[in-house]
Copies of this chain bind each other. A is one copy, B any other.
Amino acid sequence: MANQPDISAVKAYLLSLQDAICAALESLDGAGRFREDAWQRPEHGGGGRSRVLENGAVFEKAGVNFSHVQGASLPPSATAHRPELAGKAYHALGVSLVIHPRNPYVPTTHMNVRFFATAESLESTSSSSGSASAVPTWWFGGGFDLTPYYGFEADAIHWHRVAHDAVAPFGDALYPRFKRWCDDYFFLKHRQEPRGIGGLFFDDFNALGFERSFALMRSVGDAFLAAYRPIVERRKATPFSDRERQFQLYRRGRYVEFNLVWDRGTLFGLQSGGRTESILMSLPPLVRWDYDWRPEPDSPEARLYDVFLKPQDWLRFDTPPSTPNPQHPS
Contacts and interface: CB of A to CB of B under 8 A. Distances in A.
Interface of A: 37, 52, 54, 61, 63, 189-191, 249, 253, 256-257, 260-261, 270, 276-277, 279-281, 283-292
Nearest to A274: B190
Contacts of A260: 256-257, 260-261
Contacts of A288: 285-287
Contacts of A270: 189-190, 261
Contact of A63 (B279, B284, B291): B291
Nearest to A280: B289
A289 B260 CA distance: 13
A127 B261 CA distance: 40
A283 B54 CA distance: 24
B290 A287 contact: no
A291 B253 contact: no
Given A256-B256, A270-B190, A285 B280 contact: no
Contacts of A281: 291
List the 3 closest A-B pairs by CB distance, nearest first: A260-B260, A283-B289, A277-B292
Contacts of A283: 253, 289
Contact of A280 (B189, B257, B280): B257
A189 B271 CA distance: 10
A244 to B, nearest CB: 17
Contacts of A279: 190
Contacts of A52: 291
A285 B277 contact: no
B285 A190 contact: no
A206 B164 CA distance: 59
Given A190-B276, A286-B286, 8 more contacts: A54-B290, A253-B283, A256-B256, A256-B287, A260-B260, A285-B289, A285-B290, A286-B287
Which residue, A253, A279, A290, has most C-beta atoms of chain B within 10 A? A290
Contacts of A280: 257, 289
Nearest to A189: B270
A257 B261 CA distance: 9
